[in-house]
Amino acid sequence: MELRIPAADDLHIHLRNDERTLPAIKAVREGGSCRVLAMPNTIPAIATGREAMEYRSYLQKQGADFDILTTIKLTPSTRPEDIAEAANLNVIAGKQYPLGVTTNSEDGVSDFTAMYPIYEAMQSADMVLSLHGEVPQAFVLDAEAAFLDILVDIHRNFPKLRIVLEHITTQAAVELVRSMPEQVAATITDHHLDITLDDVIGATIKPHLFCKPVAKRPGDRRALNEAVREGHPSFFSGTDSAPHLIQDKETACGCAGIFNAPYHLQFLATHFEKLDMLPRLGPFVSQFGANFYRLPINREEVVLIPRQVTVPPQYDGIVPFQAGNTLAFDLAWC
């Protein structure tokens, strides 16, 4: 049976500012999205509202034919006046990376209490705090769980600040977000609904499934899927689609990131049908995130068609998520 839904919001995507930008842009609509929240950890990083506007213009000149919502990167050098300027330029979120835990986070945060003046400015400006929730130096499987107390402290001190815990991977994160007020939400990626650490480093090493936070245990994956199945509005889609060229993944020190945007809705429809929760797809990708960010529901629509499609082994020099696999749904724009 076909499924017609509003086009997706991808509320966590990496569009780069180099040779990977063109395939990253092309993939957005191919995967069923028409509005995205572009992450700021480019080189150089997007640190001010003016830089965010320049980045949006760059993406549009590169051919982006979808709505681009912008972020700025929060670092120890960020000032409250930077938040005010960004908010005045319609930047809707500030993204905070812990020091050294992921791609281009060498200027990340290690002292979270030192950022309290920034959180205060964001709360006053009604700008969303987007958090990569891992503790620097923590054991990789425990880094997200170790961050949760920090999230609780931030919310306790700034109760009106809207916070998104990005790309959650653990049962502990699911349980915490489920228990918190509506000001706290979480994104869930396509790949974390599907893979565990065994898929990455089990029988063989799969560098194209390596991401941060790393995929966790089967029980964690089960908790993520159950959060989606129950239709809790605090959990919504963000692909964290992060393209890296093949040579940057298949190397001794490979980059973290999975490129899942090209077959985003095709994969999710396949996955949701397999778990008998296909009716949850529309709210997860098109409604809950828009409501949290106080955005209108997209007017454009897509239809998921029960027709097999095989994901190619490469996509413009990048290996996409599900490469070589056959999905049960194809996609068309209405």
Q: Does the annotation flag 240 for ligand binding? A: yes
**Cβ-Cβ contacts under 8 Å for 66 (sequence gap 6 or more):** 28, 29, 33, 34, 35, 36
Measured distance CA(308)–CA(331) in Å, rounded = 10
Q: What is the CA radius of gyration of the chain?
A: 18
- DSSP codes, 283-332: IIIIIHHHHHHT-PPPS-EEEEE---EEPPS-BTTBPBTTTTPEES-EEE
3-state secondary structure of 243: coil
CA 267 vs. chain centroid, Å, equals 16
Q: Cα 8 vs. chain centroid, distance in angstroms?
A: 13
**Residues 6 or more apart in contact with residue 196 via CB below 8 angstroms:** 215, 216, 217, 218, 220, 221
Is 271 labelled a binding residue?
no
Q: Is 148 annotated as a binding residue?
A: no
Q: Is 16 annotated as a binding residue?
A: yes
Instruction: Give yes or no: 65 in active site.
Output: no
Tell whether residue 10 is among the known ligand binding residues. no
What are the phi and psi torsion angles at 3 (to 5°)?
Answer: -130, 120
Q: Which residue in 240, 248, 276, 316 is the catalytic one? A: 240
Quote the crossing angle between the two packed helices 116-125 and 80-88, to the nearest 10°. Answer: 20
Query: Would you put residue 223 in left (φ > 0), alpha (ψ -120 to 50) or beta?
Result: alpha
Helix axes 171-179, 218-229, angle to 10 degrees: 30
26 assigned ligand-binding residue? no
The secondary structure of residue 4, as a DSSP letter, is: E
Is 156 one of the annotated binding-site residues? no
Sign of the torsion angle spanned by Cα atoms 243, 244, 250, 255: negative
Tell me whether residue 167 is annotated as binding: yes
Residue type, 238: G
- Helix or strand holding residue 266 (H, E): helix 264-274
The answer on whether 12 is annotated among ligand-binding residues is yes
Summarize the annotated binding site as residue ranges. Answer: 12, 14-16, 41, 95, 132, 167, 240, 244, 256
**Any idea which residues carry the catalytic annotation?**
240
Binding site for substrate: what residues are annotated?
Answer: 14-16, 41, 132, 244, 256
